[in-house]
Structure formats: C-alpha cells, structure tokens
A and B are shown apart, each in its own frame.
Chain A
Amino acid sequence: DAGVIQSPRHEVTEMGQEVTLRCKPISGHNSLFWYRQTMMRGLELLIYFNNNVPIDDSGMPEDRFSAKMPNASFSTLKIQPSEPRDSAVYFCASSFGGTSYEQYFGPGTRLTVT
C-alpha cells in the first residue's frame, strides 16, 4: 500500500493564480483531513470529511479556500486566488473510524506563492 498520496509534491505559482492540491486516501479509510503547516502557526486542521461529507470546515481561513471530496478515493483543496501568505506545506491525512484511530499522513505539498 502506497499510503496517502498527494500531488503535486511541490507547487510554485504566482499571486492571483488558482491552485489545486490533490489527495488520495488509503483505501477503506472513511475520514479525510486537510492540514496546513507553517513556521508561525504550526500544524492546523483546515477541514475534514467523514464518508465524503464535510464535517468541520472551521479551520478554512477564508472563502478563497475550498475543498471537495467527490468520492471515497479522491479529495481536492483549491485556493482561488492564491496569495503569498498561503505559502505553506499542506498535508492530507486519512483514518478509519472515529477518535483514537490513527491518522495516516501523506508526504505533503509544499506550496510557494510569489
């Protein structure tokens, strides 16, 4: 099993452009999480899905950010338009079940907005 897959691994874009990050969770997992990691704020949960349904999006910073999970094997995080302050590492994680269940993290996407 390749684990959680994220693409691209690195993304460099100009301010104002649309950015789409992709995640494939581990097969059989029913929860998916998007995190953002920065030096200033550490690791923050942006949004999570349970059975493809968004459960908590209170961490999404603003309307420029949106996330979808059209099926159990795919999710996207979109930033439109992107800004330099969005530069960070974005992680996707998946788990099976509820609390106390281990979250499995992807390798992350390093986003740089110039």
Chain B
Amino acid sequence: AQRVTQPEKLLSVFKGAPVELKCNYSYSGSPELFWYVQYSRQRLQLLLRHISRESIKGFTADLNKGETSFHLKKPFAQEEDSAMYYCALSGRGAQKLVFGQGTRLTINP
C-alpha cells in the first residue's frame, strides 16, 4: 500500500536556523516524490519534485530509498517560509498522488 508519513504536524524554528521537514513513505515499487506548499491565503502549489533535483526558494530534498525518506531541508529559514507543507507520492507511470498529513512550519523572527 502507498503511504506517506509526516511525523510532525507542527514545526517552529527561528529565522536563520536550519529547517528539516520529515517525510517517510511506503511503496513497493519506484516512487516519485513531491513537496507541495500552501502559503497563507494562497493555493496549494508544487514546491519541488525529486526527479528535478533542483533547489527552489533555497529548499532541497533528497530521495533516500534505503531509508524510504524524502526530507525537505533549508539551511537558513526565512519568515516567508511559514506555510503548510505536504509531502506526496505517486507510483511511476501513475497520476494519482498520495499526500501526507502535512506539517505547519512557523518561522519566528
């Protein structure tokens, strides 16, 4: 069964501190992993996907198949990073996304 687990519902860090939002997944095949973000009063939108291996707004995420994880990291948090973050998974060749419960990140000044 496909499952995405985000163990932290709430995460609070100070501006300038490193941030790591945890995501673990369960999938029997080769998954594709994504991070979506929802800023206050905005729509849910794609932040990054593992196949792109890109850094967006200073965030990176590495797929670790051994640990079945796809943690989202940023070395220096900014106040504008405060938002709800969702990790999501799809099976290779599939369109269906399975989302985690989400983590609400708050960056304190």
Contact = CB atoms under 8 A, between A and B. Distances in A.
Contact of B45 (A35, A105, A108): A105
A45 B96 CA distance: 8
Given A100-B49, A105-B45, A107-B43, A45 B93 contact: no
A4 B90 CA distance: 21
Interface stretch (A13-21, A48-56, A66-74): A48-56
Nearest to A42: B101
Given A43-B102, A100-B51, A48 B86 contact: no
A75 B63 CA distance: 35
Interface residues of A, number: 27
Interface in A23-61: 31, 33, 35, 42-45, 48, 50, 55-56
Interface residues of B, number: 21
B44 interface: yes
B70 interface: no
Nearest to A31: B95
B95 A50 contact: yes
B96 to A, nearest CB: 6
A87 interface: no
Given A91-B44, A103-B46, A105-B43, A45 B97 contact: yes
